[in-house]
Structures are given as structure tokens and as C-alpha cells.
Structure 1
């Protein structure tokens, strides 16, 4: 069987090779849709008098020229390659100089056409024209059902006759297209709607000598009704710790379009379903409601080529049911993922610390428990609300209480996920430091009180003594007996200067 298969490949290659050997140059290229009336132009308006026109063809993948017709002013000879649709466009060619041939070509008519003009034995002109056939397929059949995938397929033969094929939509909007084989180029529009009606244009760019830079062909498309999709939807049940990246997988098909729907956790009301992401790789359009939380995965995935999956970095409220749908032509492949998200919180009170384990999508959870790294230590657990499990630790935290506390979430399918919280010993507080620290300031305050009182007393006594002397001086001046008690300022300073061991100012300075 392997030998036979190899022989088939070699035979096929030899056919392709022989199809491409022969004429490598031509004067003109004509691209035409199968069954469309076309004209192979061959003119020489400078020719006058008796001439003979010879039309012949070398069909694609053949090695011989066959006569189509031989015509002169007096006679016309039909060759073996002549078909009913073939005829000269001007029977009076000897006067007009128009020797063109019209035909409605089929796929079998692809090849090189030769227009040879003779006058007696002299060759006046020879024109080699390469006839290229374009076949256009619209899938599904028109009218296209809404929400289906419109496929526009252009097949150009022979493959060496063109450089590229492109598609444009209504309004001259360029469509993304991909070359699927040497001859086939495909453009797709997933999720078509009524406003996608209109004329689509297939543009073929010829290779080599050509009188036209391009050949454009209109394809009319109408959209009506709705598509009947068939969905395949297995369910994955899993869990992840909050703020950790999670690979949200999609069906493993190379698709045209992907969309993600989300049902919030702990609810199965279909009215709560939200579209959170869609991407059309053909239009290049993207919509997301999750911003950085939900992003298209890259290697080994390639969304631009139709390989889809997502990276999700969820918070507690981002659990729930995720449905990834990949559209390929008129088929929808679906993957459902039920996701529980686990998160640990700490609450501190004056006498205790609470470790709270929160989780979402409770319907797939079998149990949730707290564990200490010392397996012999048994923890008391309580649940104050749905989707939570709490264990309490007394304060302050001592060495026997400290350690790693792990919340373990067990799913009904046997999968388990955990989150660990490290609890350290409370810092020590010195009793001596707290009771002795106010003493220095209190002692200073107690010593300051009598000193301030003494100072005030001395100041009052000095003020009274000065006042008495002032009165005496006033009386002396009034009686004309002026007496200067202080002969010089130093005496004043000496008199006011405190003396003795009970000097109040010295105490104040200290």
C-alpha cells in the first residue's frame, strides 16, 4: 500500500510539472469566470488586403497545438478544437483589422490561444493569449442564514497565471483572505447579519504581460433567516486561587470566530448570562468586558490563525460558568468550564484573630476545611455565611499557635485547591517600660512646684522693698533732701543678686 501511495504522489507531481513546462511567456492574460462570454483580443488595423487568420489552442496540461479555425476572405475551415460558442467577432476582418475570437469558456478550455495573421506566406502578427478561469463558490448557498459563516472561495487556474487574489466587501472594505492551496483563496465573515447584504468583489492580479492590471468580479450576497447550529459542550469542573492566572481552554479546532459567555457564580439563571469576549479573526474585531482579567492566550495558541484559549486572572466574584464557543464555518464547538475561586481574608479584634476562607461556585464544592502545619493541632471551624469557613485564633499569638494555616477546598470531582496563610508570633511588650517611663517627668514636675513658689515669693518681697525705698526717695526729694541710695549701678546689681545656699535661681537653672 505504501508503494502504491508513493507511486500516486510521484505521478501527480509529474503531471503538475508537465502542466507547467512549455510556454513561459505570453502577450496577454485574460481572466474570466466559467461560462461568461469573453473575447480574446487580436487586432491589427494596419493590415489591408487578402489575409488569413489562424486560431489554435494548446490546452492546459497538454503538449500539442490544436486548430480552432482557419479563415480567409473566401473560406473558413473549422478545426478539431472549435466549440459552438467560438466565433470571430468581425466577419469583415480583412477590412477592419479585427481578428478577435469570442467564446464562453469552461474549465476544460484553460490554456494558451494563438492568433496568427498571414498575408500570403508572410507572418504579419502572432499573439499568444493565456486564458485563465476563475471559479467562485459562495457557502452556504444564498440566501445566507443570519449568524452563519459566509465563505467566499475563489479558485484560479492555472496557478502560475496570477500573483494574488483578494476580496472586498460592500463599501469597498478589504476582507482578510487566506490562500488555502495553490489555486484557492478564501475569505470568511462569521456571524453575518442582514446588513452584510451586498456586492462582494473578487480581484485577481495577473502575472506577466497583461493588458489589464487586475480583473474584478462581483458576487451578490443576500442574508436571510437564521442558522441551525449544532453544539458540542462537555463540562470541566475546576478551582483556582484568587489573583492567580488560569488557562481557560476552548475547543481544539482551528476556527473563524470565538466568543466567551459567563454566568456569575452561584446562579444558574440564564438571564444572567453575559457575553464577556468575542473575537473575529477575519474582520480583526475584538470586544471584551473583562479588560485585563480575561485575555487571549498566546503560544502555543495563535488567535490570528484560529487557535483560541484564554488567560483568566479572577477575583472571588469572577468564578462561575464560562462557555467558550468556537465557530468554524457553520459548526459551533463549545467548551464549558465551571470555576470556583478561593480567597483567604484576615480579621483582627481586640482578643482574637479570624482566618476566613471564602469560595465561589458552591454547587461543585464538596467541603472546605482549615489545617495547621502541625497535623496534631485541631482547629475549630464555623461558617457565618454561605461560601465561607472561619477559624479563630486567640490574641496574642504565641509560638504554639503561630505557623502556616491552610484552607483546602475539595471539589465533588475529587480535585482539591488550597491557599496558605502564615501567622507569626505577636511582638512582646515590656511591662517595666510601660510603668516606669512617666516617672522622670513626674519627678521634675513635683520638684518644680516648690521652686516656682519660692521664686514668686522672692520676687514679691523684692518688689515691695524697692517700692518702700521709692517712697522714701520721693519724700526726700519733695523735702529738698535728695539722697542717692545707689551711687553706682553695680550696687544695684549686687543688691538684687541672690546669695546663699538657698538660692532659688540656681535651683531653677538646674
Structure 2
């Protein structure tokens, strides 16, 4: 057997130098075993008689010399400095049977080369070299793995040169992507694990060389999803009215609120609110959302939310409270209703709009007068309509209530008031013709007096002396002709009552 070659390497590269100096010709058999499980290194020969002896030795991959595990002859047996309580011969009657097989229960540092050497008169009769590969597997975080955390599975073999490849498969045999890390070995990750990700993950180790044996090691993973998942809540509310969105009642470190839009088959969750009480940081996507106040206290980790929704803001809300590495989840399906009107030439439509239809049992319109039967229709999902004839009569007027009832018995309602429209004007009977004429003359006389006073003031203010001619038999008047009165009293606008007199 060729001596294992060493090269001068830096401490960082030493392992890799040793790795390339070895070849499969340096051992007869590769034995792979999981850490702290038993494996047998099979070795047999002639019975120990006379000067025949057996020696088990070990050498780590970075060592130059072999160390004795045990030595035995016909008359004596003793343990060497490399002996451990976990190492022993399988057959107590080995002197007579010639079965010198060694049982080991190795730890990681026990990986390396093992030699079974049979001598006669200090000459080598037979030697069998084993490369013992010790597999370590594990995962993080420890079980039970918190829901939505990242599961990390790792496998490492010592010495690394003993294997050609390592693979990981998920429950059901699905291959997983792996990477080699210097400190952890072959690693695979599974982000955001959920309950369905629990199960048995299998690591397979393929030895270097012509050996066809494959070592498989199972890792059983449980995901902590039962205690932190609370029963789903269904709730209903009127649009623009505040509603409480409950969170798990645990004292958490931070809280996330996700929203999935209503009445959709695409379950795409959108993060709409995030609060970290230790950093005192808040991130939110809508002014309609806020952390709930007393009896809740977000500063101390008691979370819930207040939402003032429009009818389209219904849907699935998921509140996740984080406490250390555990996530607690509470889901609320919210149905929101809203009433509105639509006016047409001959009718008034009352519309009741509602969202998250999957949780709704019934939606109805009712009048104050319960004996009135309303005709209802729906021309699209999430919309119930009742129609009233125009103009609104006193028996039709009143409060119309749209009531939404959920499958769990909860209900919400909204009211639309319908009133009789006010009268546009007061209609009176036409006055007697003579009375009409009299009424027409009243403003005429008042206008004449006003013009007279204006002219007198104008003459006085202007300082002009005017001689009034008074003829015999004529009345004293500044107007010689009624036509003058008409000309002076005529307004300059379109509404001219004197046009009627001239007709």
C-alpha cells in the first residue's frame, strides 16, 4: 500500500491538499455510517495459535502515524492508546474462530483509515484497510420548526474524500436543490415552511470508487402549525363603519396584516400593515387601517386592527403575530355592504352592494311597512336591486333597509331614506280682469311719483331756473302730454310692463 502523501499547505488549505493526495487504492473498502450508530469492519483470518497476532490501528486523514486500537495473541490481549469504549471485537471467542471484526460507534472525529493487520512472527500475513466515513445530518431550527420560518437541512461526511456526492429528497421523494458550504457540508433550504412541509427528509450518501452501496439517513421534521393557527372568523359590517380585525391574543414582538381581495379565485396575499414594537416602526398601505386602541395595547405586544372599509375592502385578512421564532395566525373573512341609489326618468333604483359572497347566506331589501312586498332582482353577483316608481308617493316614501346575513348567523344592515319631493311652486286662480288692471296701475302710479321726485331733485341740484308756462284753463303740471310720462317711465330692460299698455 502506498504511503499517504502530505504536502506543505497553509492551515486553510491543508484539508484540501490531503484530499487530493489520496486515491481509492489506499483502502480496500469504504464503510459509511451515521454518527453514533454502530458499524462493523469485517476482518477474518486463521486462529490465533503460536506466534500469530492481530492488530487494529487507526489513522486520521491529517496524521502521519497509525495509532493502536487493540492487539491480541493466543495468550494476551490489550488495548492501545486509540482505543475507545465504543470500539470492540464482535466475537469474544476470536482466538478460536478467527473472526477479528471490529464494531465501532463513531463520532465525527473518528472518521478515517482503519487497519486490520494479521502478523506471524512479526511478518505481515494479511492486512485490510477500511475508510470509515462518518455522516452527520441535522436541521435548523430545532423541532418543532416554526411555521413560515426557513428550514435548513445539512449533511456532512468526515472525511469528505470518502464520498462522491450527497443528495436530499423531500417527503414523497421530490429532489431538492443542494449547495456545498465549507462549514456545514451539503445544505438545502426550504423557506416559509408550513404544516404540509412536515415529514421525512432523506439524505443519501454515495461513496467514492466502485462501491454500489448507498447510505441513506432519514430526518423527521415537524412543523409547529397547530397551536398558533386560530379558528377562522367570519364577520360583516356596513361600508364606512369601523370594524375590529382580531389578532391572536399572545404578547408578540411584531405583527403583520395581509389582505386577499374579495370574490377572487387567486389567493394572492398582499402585506398591508407591519408593526415592530421593539423598533417602534410602522409600515402601512392604507389610511383605512390602524392599530386598535384599548383594551388592546400595541406598545406592549397586544395587537388587533381597526378597519373603516369601503364595500370593495372585504375579503380575507390574515393577522400574524411573531413571538421569538413562533408565528401565531388569525384569519378573518370580512363581508362589507353598501347602499346607493340610481335615478332614471321613470324610476328610482335602490342598490345593495356586498363583497366576500362566499360567506353570505342572504341579502334582502325591506320597507318600514313590513306588509309591503318589494320586488328584488340581481343583474350581477354581489348586487341586489329594488325599484320604486317616480314620482315618489307618500305610501312609497320611508326607510328602506338592506340586511345581509352570513352563514354563521351574523348580520349587518344599511338604511336608505326615500322622501316625497317638495312642491316646486304655489298655483293660484286668476284675478278678475278689473282687479288685474287695478293691480297694474299701482306700480305705474308709484313709478310716476318716483320720476317726478327724481326730476325735481335733478333741477334743484343743477341750479337751473325753469319757467313753467301756465295757460288759461290748463292744470299746472310739468308734463304737458301723457306720452311724456310713458317715455320717462319706460325702463330700458326686457321686462317692460309698458309694452303691454302700448299694445
Report the TM-score when normalising by structure 2: 0.44
Whichever structure has more helix as a proportion of its residues is 1
